[in-house]
Structure 1
Amino acid sequence: MPDDLYQRYQAAHRAHRAHATTCSRCTDTIRCPDGERLFEAFTRLQDAYLARQRRQQRP
């Protein structure tokens, strides 16, 4: 069964990148409100996924 958290994390990344490529107001450091919302969702899910990976790798 695919990892739901990983899939959500990757989907959030795709959504953020798709927005960033079409939005004339977003840059790598400055984002429009929609871009900021998408970036926040991506980073929150990425942090959760990586934290879980670190917990699972501990002996």
Structure 2
Amino acid sequence: MTDRLFIAYMAAFEAATRHVGNCPACRDNLPCKAGDPLHARFLRLQQVWTARSNVSGKHRRDSTP
């Protein structure tokens, strides 16, 4: 089964990372009209993914197989 949230989260990570690689402003943590929305989307999806994973018990560092 495809996890659409995870795919969106990873796509947002890729887009933000690719942008930072080509944007001096983002590399210097300066405001960027193109990069700010990319980073905001990544952070939002990361928070949702982390919250969902913590609730379901998946991907916890302290869990043992």
Q: Which 4+ stretches in 1 moved above 6 angstroms? A: none
Specify the structure having the higher radius of gyration (Cα): 2
What TM-score do the two structures reach when normalised by structure 1?
0.85
Q: Residue 28 of structure 1: CA displacement?
A: 5.3
Specify every segment of 5 or more residues in structure 1 that has no aligned partner in the other structure, as ranges. Answer: none
Q: CA RMSD in A?
A: 1.3
What TM-score do the two structures reach when normalised by structure 2?
0.78
More relative contact order in 1 or in 2 (CA 8 Å, sep 6+)?
A: 1
Residues matched between the structures, number? 57
Specify every segment of 5 or more residues in structure 2 that has no aligned partner in the other structure, as ranges. Answer: 58-65
Verify: 1:12 aligned to 2:12, yes or no: yes
1:35 — aligned with what?
35
Q: Report the residue type matching 2:29 in the other structure.
A: T
What percent of counterpart residues are identical? 35
